[in-house]
Amino acid sequence: MADRADAVRELAAMKAEHTAGYGGGRLRAAIFGINDGLVTNASLVVGMAAADTTRQAIILAVVAGLVAGAFSMAAGEYISVRTQRELFESLIAGERRQLKEEPEAERHEAEVIFPANGLPRHDAERVAAHIMANPEVALDMMAREELGLNPDDLGSPSGVAISSFTSFAFGAGVPLVPYVVLVPCRASIDGWPGCEGYLGSRSRAGGANR
């Protein structure tokens, strides 16, 4: 038992190391968030700049779009992943119930799964009997092989919501940078700063001082 407990802890550490930062759908949510934030607010900036709107109005609109979009993306991702997780958990619960109520049928399924993965038939029967003796190991195996689910990574609703919120805010903030950082520069019609007049005036002022 001690050897098994040590092996379980080591396996958990290996899984955590290989899935750190992108498990539970967080990577997907981050990519969608950055893309949506950048495209949405860049389009908003271009439209408002083309309408010859003031710099302050553009900044206000972009910030409003950033906040609204980030909350909308986060809420949508949370509800989506939460619903998906509940569905997966119900499927796994059904498999757990079958292992308890119909152990022989589940053992036969295991004896079919192993040869399908390349294990000889006589070895499959022996391994299946050994796995079915441990309900939790059997459930993990059946969830992966029969249901096609990873019980350790069913999706994290809060994780994807946070990832989506922060990545959307980051992407949506990029079109705002020219209007906040390059304060003296006027906004050209394509939504990006046109600093020619500012830089030219600075050059002329420098020449006069000399």
Residue-wise pLDDT tens digits, 4-59? 565 556 655 655 554 554 555 778 888 888 888 889 888 888 888 888 778 888 88
Let me know if residue 135 belongs to a domain: yes
Let me know if residue 202 belongs to a domain: yes
Q: What is the DSSP letter of 155?
A: -
Q: How many CB atoms within 10 Å of residue 38?
A: 18
Let me know if residue 4 belongs to a domain: no
Let me know if residue 53 belongs to a domain: yes
Using the CB atoms, write b or e for 128-162: b if 16+ within 10 Å. beebbeeeeebbbbbbebbeebebeebbbbebbbb
**pLDDT level of residue 88 (50, 70, 90 thresholds):** very high
Let me know if residue 7 belongs to a domain: no
Which helix H or strand E contains 187, and what residues bound it?
Answer: strand 186-187
Let me know if residue 155 belongs to a domain: yes
Let me know if residue 79 belongs to a domain: yes
Q: How far apart are CA 172 and CA 12, in angstroms?
A: 37
Let me know if residue 73 belongs to a domain: yes
**pLDDT level of residue 155 (50, 70, 90 thresholds):** confident
0.75 cut: is pTM over it?
no
Split into its structural domains, the chain has a count of: 1
Domain range for 89 is 24-209
